[in-house]
Each structure stands twice: as C-alpha cells, then as structure tokens.
Amino acid sequence: MSQPTQDGTQTNEAQANGTRANGAREERRTENDRPDPETVETENLTLVQAVKEGLHGEMTRDDRVLVTGEDIGRNGGVFRATQGLFDEFGDDRVIDTPLAESGIVGTAIGMASHGLRPVAEIQFSGFAYPAFDQIVSHAARLRTRSRGRFTCPLTVRAPYGGGIRAPEHHSESKEAFFVHEPGLNVVVPSTPYDAKGLLASAIRDPDPVIFLEPKLIYRAFRDPVPDETYTVPMGEAAVRREGSDLSLFTWGAMTRPSLDAAANVEDEIDVEVIDLRTLSPLDNEAIVDSFEKTGRAVVVHEAPQTGGLAGEINATIQEQALLYQEAPIGRVTGFDTPFPLYALEDYYLPNATRVEEQIRETADF
C-alpha cells in the first residue's frame, strides 16, 4: 500500500523495488529515439493490431502494467485489441470486469495511486459518461489534490468516432469533453506506427491519459510497425504533407480524407496537412509555425462544430499569428446534432469532397 512520506514523495511497490523502477527510467531516457521503420525489423500491422502490440510490449517490459475492462480477457475485447494477452499474462493482469464503467475507472484509479499502471478499456467511448465523474473529479485532480504526493498513471483506452454502422452511443466524438479538463492528456493516433508508440508513452506517463482510438480506421490499412518497443512523445504534431498555400489541421480518422482532399487540389493549391495526434497538450508551436508559412487554415474534425477543438485552434491562431492571416479560418466538422443512425452516417461525417470544397473556399478568399 502506498504511503506519503514526510518529504512529500510517494512510497509504493514500484519505488520499493528500486531495480525495476530504475530500469524503467533508464529505458525511458533512451527510447525517445524513435526507430525508423526502414532500418529496423517491422511487421505490417493494422491500427488495432498496433494497439495490441503496444499493450503487449508494455506488459512485457513492466510488470506494473495491467489491463482491465469488459470482455477484454478470454474474448480479447469487442475489437480483439487484447486478444491473446489473457493466455500470456493471466487473469491477475488481464482482468474482465462487470458492465460498470464507473467501477472500471474508479478501481483503476485506486490501482494507479498505489503503484500500478492500469490500462482501463471503455468498450466504446460513448459508454464513458458513467465514468466521467471518476475521470474528472479524481484521476485528473489527484496530483493537484495531493500537492504532488500522488500521481495517477492511468490510461483509459476507448474506440471512438463513427463510420462503422454502429447503434446509438457507439459513434460519438466527444474528445473536447476531456480536453477541457486540466490534468488530463488526450491522444488520438491516426497510424499504426503512432498507435503503438503513443500508447507506450501514455502508459509510462505519470498522469492520466485518455487514449481515443478511431475505430473507422482500425483495419482500414496496414503500415510497417517496428517489432521493438518505442515511444512517440505526446504533445508533438506530425506534418503528414508539406505545403505552402494553406494549413490543414486534423487528427484521427479525419487525417485520411484530409490527405485525399489535399491530393485532389495539389495542381492548384499546395496544402500542408498537420496531424495533431495529441489534443492535450496541444502542439501550439506546430500550429503557429505552419500558419505563419501559409496564412490560411482549415480545421477538420468529426465532432460537432459548436465547442469543438476547431474553435480552440482558431483562437490560438488569432492570439499568436493574427498578422499572418490572409483569409477566415475554415471548419469542416460534424453537425450540431446527435450522431445519426445508418442512413445519414456518411452524410454526417466529413469526407474528402467537403474538405476539398472548404480548401478551395479558403484559398480563393
């Protein structure tokens, strides 16, 4: 059991086992040198396979890491993201839970505060609302509440977003809920390489991370992913396509239609596509640097427009790069309605055609 010491530090099982903790710190120093897929052994993986590899790598590396959630044990999870982990690591580290999201996250917070590194799976992000109180009232505040004596190294994984013809509550994109809460990191990978590396970073981070996995692209494509363990730092955007005429900011499943739209107009407009990857902390430097180069911007996300992250990105540009602005900043988003069922799902989600139209409108201003 963890006990705070007189000097304000936290004592727990990990600190008692000095060799294991020190070894983890040494690996953390060196593994930020990310492996190049062209120079190391790789396997072509889908995004969901990369998530599974990321979990496996961290569970092998650090026996404080465990996974918990509904049907994640013998069944391997509804999307099979944990398939095989139960057989290898056993039921004390791959824990099937009742259908009770508040209990899943609340129990994981207790584990995290006592020296473990739990990865709690919410079966769909739309099921996270019963756990919202645990996340924002406890996980996000534990460091501040204890004045740094305790941290909460918790990762909450959830498939999120639309596009798979799922029922109600299975397709929401409510990342802004979590970004608004200080104390939480929010990560949304868009490639298999990033999924594995960002998940490793999330699990190793001393503070809670909401790790949102765009299920529309779980099995949409394969990319080379290094066999070895590595990290991709949180808080760093990636330039997916360089350009000079317009900056397009996006993340998650919207990265692919954004790249398609940029390719469609490349003979007329040179679009730079920035995949933010981490929404909290936001890479403001990458946003501003790109905008200062192009003077025009479009933001694409599948969440509803009102209160979405596009507004925050717009405000960042106004505050830090206003004098470079050549046109109003465009937004291509979902609509301010509940996520629709099957017949209107494709209409609701941004696609390459809508993105291309906004690119042209912003460029022609």
Let me know: does 240 contact 274? Beta carbons within 8 Å.
yes
Helices 255-264 + 352-364 axis angle, to 10 = 50
Compute CA distances 166 → 110, 163, 246, 303, 339, whole Å.
32, 8, 35, 16, 10
Write out the two tokens for 216.
């529309």
Compute CA distances 362 → 90, 246, 281, whole Å.
54, 8, 27
- Is 353 in a helix, a strand, or coil? helix
Among the options 56, 138, 169, 170, which is catalytic?
170
Amino acid in the structure at residue 183: G
3-state helix, strand, coil in the chain (%, to 5): 40, 20, 40
Helix (H) or strand (E) holding 202: helix 192-204
Specify whether 170 is catalytic. yes
Cβ burial, residue 335 (10 Å; 0-12/13-18/19+) = middle
Give the C-alpha separation, 125 to 110, whole Å: 21
In this structure, what is the dihedral angle of CA atoms 153, 155, 156, 158, given to the nearest 10 degrees? 170
Amino acid in the structure at residue 134: Q
Within a 10 A sphere around the Cβ of 229, how many other Cβ atoms?
18
Looking at the annotation, which residues are catalytic? 170
